[in-house]
Structure 1
Amino acid sequence: MAPHKIILDCDPGVDDAIAILLALASPQEIELLGITTVAGNVPLENTARNARRICTLAGRQDIPVYAGCSRPMLEAEGRRSKVHGNDGLGNVTLPEPDFALQEEHAVDYLIRAIHAASGEITLCPIGPMTNIALAIVKDPSIAPKIKQLVFMGGAAFCPGNSSPVAEFNIYVDPWAAHVVLSAGIPQVMFGLDVTLQAKINSNYLDALQQVSPLLASATAMMRSYGASDPCLHDPCVIAWLIEPSLFSGVEGDISVSYHDDIHRGQTVVAVKPRHLADNQTNITVMTEVDKPRLLKMLAERLSRL
């Protein structure tokens, strides 16, 4: 089977960094065409630098990195996460980027890449969806040319982590999420319903850090991050592309509350009734993960780097 051609749209972020490393460690299943960065966990200048720091750490300076949007669609300032340290990667000493950002804006790159490989590209947003939303707004003809959208975001059946009802990525730019998730693209959601199950612990990290200097750096990032949020949110997206049987979920219809009120960023999913099997749905929401297999696979893949 040919590898998935993906563009990873991210806001590194420790768990974003582990998702990048997992993709780079899995060339038989994942062809990483490019990385686009967006403001989210930390400002854009940090996310663009951090994506290149991780690629440099892995010796993959061939992966093009494009800087995107520095704020949400309808607000002058974004909202930040405190769990990733001041720099976004747990304040861990990492190599500085030794290759340059691409000059093209991430939105323009997305449009160009999707047209060039119509029906072949899986978009993997694991941060706020601002870049993808603005690409669709600028050129709506790309939406039917996207193979699928596999994203980390939302909280369909559990409380949020940025408000009682909203997960961080959706909360930061709910207008973008509304544009993207209503664009008619086949989509798979990895929200807090499943990612909160993908917990790491100190024993797991103790074993992993012994493997190589690279994994010592990766585990140092995860230790810093895990003190506040010991869950592998973003890597679940890549793990599913590698081994779908790790996860299970439900089909339904999703809508996003994009008003700036107490429901901001809420993802409402109406699950398809079993007795109405022919009903159309617009999303698969993952709700269960085989955590032992996930952690085993993650350790095995990362040890290849």
Structure 2
Amino acid sequence: MPGLPLIIDCDPGVDDTVALLLALAAPERLDVLAITTVAGNVGGDLTARNACLVREIAGRPDIPVHAGEARPLVRAPVAADHFHGPTGLGDLPVGQPLRGPEEEGAVDFLVRTLRARPAGEVTLAVTGPMTNLARALQTAPDIGPRIGRVVAMGGARREGGNITASAEYNIHADPHAADIVARSGVDLVLMGLDVTHQVTATEARRARIAGITNTPAKVASQLMAFSARTEVELGTGGPPPLHDPCVILWLLAPHLFTLRDCHLAIETESPLTLGHTAVEFRLGEQRAANARWATGADSDGAFDLICDLLGRGA
């Protein structure tokens, strides 16, 4: 039986890369139709190149890569290369991929694919700013009801922000895009900092991954080590959270996570709280649920699954 038809929309990025390696290791569960990329953690030219490199590392050169939007819908670009390194891939040696992205851009690919596939068949995993998806919804509003589900990494409630006091990076980088998606009526699941901060690459967990000898696991181990050093220098000082991999882990093992229905609204006006996610669990006629918000994770179970998936690599 074929896996879940999936498009991964991302901005690789250290943790996006780990998420891609996990997704591409499970073809029997996830039928990855394409990787679409967007400017975010680093510029759009680099995120597209990085996605092409990651598919080679994963031994999946069959997966097409479509480069997407080079800047947010409204605001000025906000990079996060201080957390991901100037190439976006930490301290990995970086060359040119054997094959570059397709000629068709990400937005056109999304519109064409969602129109061609049966309604509700395709799931989108979004681990970067939501610019590509928002632009596709603006271009072709008819695709909204055709999307099976959007599972995205973004937002913060209990934990506060990681780019400003109240805003998480992916939402802050393009709040207007996130607002369009939240208002679109798509089936939306959000893995925000409230849950990703529970799935941390502790020293013991990194040692388990370092003990796996194939190339994808070695790359993931090196990226997690880079994130651990960066977290000490620029972050909380604790073990690094695995933000984007939570999206893939939920798709593969939803029992590892706890979700709550919520009304989600995105702040797009205030300079002080731009990109803040207002997550309201008190629902009623005036505040209907438009998303599901992850509140808890079985972190040990998550890392057991990560080790299993990385252990399959070539």
Length-normalised TM-score, structure 2:
0.92
Does structure 1 conserve the Cα–Cα contact (< 8 Å) formed by 2:111 and 2:140?
Answer: yes
In 1, Cα distance between equivalents of 2:77 and 2:2: 41
Contact 1:50–1:88, Cα closer than 8 Å, also in 2:
yes
Residue type of the alignment partner of 1:259: E
2:208–2:307 Cα contact (<8 Å) kept: no
Matches of 2:59 and 2:270 in 1, distance apart? 42
Once the two structures are superposed, the pairs formed by residues 138-149 of structure 1 within 5 Å of their partners are 138-149=139-150
- From 286, 293, 297, give the equivalent of 2:301: 293
Q: Taking structure 1 as reference, are residues 94 and 58 closer, same or farther at Cα in structure 2, changes over 3 Å only?
A: farther
The residue number in structure 2 matching 1:261 is 271
Q: Is the 8 A contact 2:5 2:122 kept in 1?
A: yes
Q: Whole-Å Cα distance in 1 between the matches of residues 81 and 184 of structure 2?
A: 28
The offset of 1:96, in angstroms, is 3.6
1:154 is matched with which residue?
155
- The 5-angstrom pairing of residues 113-152 of structure 1 reads 113-117=113-117, 118-152=119-153
What is the aligned residue count?
302
Q: CA deviation at 1:187?
A: 0.8
Amino acid at match of 1:227: R
Aligned-partner SS, 1:71: coil
Is the 8 Å Cα contact of residues 253 and 283 (structure 1) preserved in structure 2?
yes
Please tell me whether the aligned partners of residues 124 and 149 of structure 1 are also in contact (alpha carbons under 8 angstroms): yes
What is the correspondence of 1:88-103 to structure 2 with a 5 Å cutoff? 88-93=88-93, 96-103=96-103
Q: What is the CA distance between 1:76 and its match in structure 2?
A: 4.7
Residue 173 of structure 1 pairs with residue 174 of structure 2: yes
1:284 aligns with 2:286: no
Match of 2:224 in 1: 222
Q: Give the match for residue 30 of structure 1.
A: 30
Alpha-carbon distance, 1:158 to partner: 2.2
Structure 1 vs Structure 2: percent identity of aligned residues? 39
Contact 2:77 2:173 survives alignment (8 Å): no
Say whether the 8 Å CA contact 1:272–1:281 is kept in structure 2.
no
Match of 1:192 in 2: 193
- Where do 5+ consecutive residues of structure 1 fail to align? none
| RMSD of Structure 2 on Structure 1 (CA) | 1.7
Match of 1:250 among 233, 253, 260: 260
* Deviates most, 117-126 or 62-71: 117-126
Q: What whole-Å deviation, never above 9, does each CA across 1:217-257 have from its counterpart, x for those lacking one?
A: 22111110222341110010010110110000211110000
Amino acid of the structure 1 residue aligned with 2:181: V
SS in 2 for 1:227: helix
Q: TM-score, normalised by structure 1?
A: 0.95
1:94 CA drift (Å) = 5.0
Letter in 2 for 1:164: A
What SS does the aligned partner of 2:84 have?
A: coil
- In 1, are the aligned partners of 2:81 and 2:87 still within 8 Å (CA)? no
Runs of 4+ aligned residues of structure 1 deviating over 4 Å after TM superposition are none
Cα distance between partner residues in 2 of 1:208 and 1:76? 38
User: Of residues 278, 303, 311 in structure 2, which corresponds to 1:303?
Assistant: 311
Counterpart CA distance in 2 for 1:83 and 1:234 is: 14
Alignment partners' CA distance in 1, 2:165 and 2:78: 19
- Give distance in 1, aligned partners of 2:270 and 2:34: 32
**1:4 Cα shift?**
1.6
Partner in structure 1 of residue 61 of structure 2 = 61
Q: Which amino acid aligns with 1:261?
A: P
Task: Provide the C-alpha distance between the structure 2 equivalents of 1:93 and 1:100, rounded to a whole number of angstroms.
Answer: 18
State the alpha-carbon separation in 2 of the partners of residues 36 and 149 from structure 1.
14
